[in-house]
Amino acid sequence: MEREMVLVLDFGGQYSQLIARRVRELSVYCEIFPYDISYEEVVEKNPQGIILTGGPASVHVENAPACDHRIFEMNIPVLGICYGMQLLAHALEGVVKGGKHREYGRAQLTVTRDDLLFSGVPQDMQVWMSHGDAVHVLPQGFVQTAATSNCPIAAMCHKDKKLYGVQFHPEVKHTAYGLDILRNFLYEVCGLKGDWKLSDFIAESVADIKAKVGSKKVLCALSGGVDSSVAAVLVHRAVGDQLVCVFVDNGLLRKDEPEQVINTFKGQMHMNLIFADARERFLRRLSGVTEPERKRKIIGEEFIRVFEEEKAKLGDIQYLVQGTIYPDVIESGTHIADTIKSHHNVGGLPEDMDFELLEPLRPLFKDEVRLLGEELGIPSHILWRQPFPGPGLGVRVLEEITEDKLTMLKEADAIVREEISKAGLDREIWQAFAVLPPVRSVGVMGDERTYAHPIIIRAVVSDDAMTAEWARLPYELLDTMSRRIVNEVQGINRVAYDITSKPPGTIEWE
């Protein structure tokens, strides 16, 4: 039996991957492709629906991103979001112009006409806008279905052709009934039943890994974090004792983390784990380096070199397992999206590495990875560890990395995480950590002048790391963390709290 499937055509918008996440959350399988996928490939995929994402371009610029217009004549339901709506209108001879008032952020939407897309949602609702251009004249056969004060055509449809467009972003949490609108497109417009489950993903991944690996050995880059842990258990289910896990201590891990990882995976889970102490070589390679992209690439390359050396000791190993997930991939850049930051396991990989990669979690977001881990029976204390960047504290020391700076940061970071846990906020906070900036400031301690480093505390709430809000931590908690860090960590005399959301910031500082 062929599974239902929706195609998401990516025009490079910051929320593109989030659209796919929401579709899967609604139990519909989807695949993401660049907007320039060929018409023949679309036909071969046989989708039951197509979603056009937002993007940073204007339909009027030279070589504006555009999909094959024959897609709109396939009698397959199409939903254009933001730029996707503008492209749909432009392709079908409507008029798209630059708006007098750019809309960015929350807006009040009014539904102006009964429509399947807005079935069961209030007539007035909050939505999230992010656009300059807008549709000014509808294509022939289309009707307006919603408006805001600055955007008279905020939604449109051609009911007979099942072509729909919304200028706002239903995929983000800031749109109050966004998930209901996407559900209406999938179930009311496309007529889908929703037949995709993570348990299916496990079965398919296991079968794919078995077929690819055969009888060969597999090396797993195990950090002890959520992603690499789930990847290791998934691959172990497929190949069993053919899997060898390597844990590399690069000196950039959190306080006491190496001991915790070894105890959990070797002592409790009885996995075949090799410990590689590479602290000295990593710090030597990073000596004098301050530029963050260079740090990431050095760390990524050095990881691979360590794994290659372990491979040489173990014999014939062709495959390397990594816990790469979707946000890693999209933020490292594609031909339709700018690089935000290179992730050490994507943009930081050396071209000449002697491995073929196995990345079974590559299509998944963090929350999906955790759900997958639950299906695989992984203990909750591992699944609910806070995300930790692959380059580790190397991208939280915002200058040249030294042992002294790492010691200060490790101690301060441990206090932040300990107090978050004491406050019972582990599940509410997506990430909470400390950052060491490249500045020093004057302070007074014990009636003496100090000239020492500040620590920046960063805490965010998020569902998937694609967007994040700064956490509104209680003042009492911030006060406790500040007093403990200044009193207990030598070399720190000031504490600040980062109240920037993503976007415009990122979760990490580098």
| Annotated catalytic residue 171 | yes
Asked whether 12 and 56 are in contact (CB, 8 A), the reply is yes
Nearest to 158 by CA among 258, 67, 80: 80
Active site residue 82: yes
List 25, 103, 171, 368, catalytic entry = 171
Strand-strand pairing, 6-10 and 30-34: parallel
Token pair recorded at residue 412:
């301060």
CB-facing half-sphere around the CA of 27: CA atoms within 13 A: 8
Of the chain, the end-to-end C-alpha distance in Å amounts to 46
Out of 82, 190, 220, 245, which one is annotated catalytic? 82
Burial of 462 (0-12, 13-18, 19+ CB in 10 A): buried
Tokens of residue 425, six digits: 């906020």
Q: Is residue 315 within 8 Å of residue 281, measured between CB atoms? A: no
Helices 198-213, 366-375: inter-axial angle, 10-degree rounding? 80
* Contact (Cβ atoms closer than 8 angstroms) between residue 53 and residue 9: yes
One-letter amino acid of 153: I
DSSP SS3 for 448? strand
- The CA distance from 431 to 417, in Å, is 9
* φ/ψ (deg, to 5) at 112: -105, -10
Q: Where are the alpha helices (DSSP H) in 92-169?
A: none
- For 205, the token pair is 């991944």
* DSSP SS3 for 53: coil
Nearest CA to 279 out of 153, 410, 150 is that of: 410
Q: How far apart are CA 390 and CA 278, in angstroms?
A: 15
Among 90, 131, 169, 343, the one annotated catalytic: 169
- By DSSP bridging, strand 469-470 and strand 448-461 are antiparallel
SS3 content of the chain, % helix, strand, coil (to 5): 35, 25, 40
Q: Which ranges of 130-192 would DSSP assign to H, the alpha helix?
A: 178-183
* Tally of CB atoms within 10 A around 365: 22
DSSP letter at 39 equals: H
Q: Which residues are catalytic?
A: 82, 169, 171
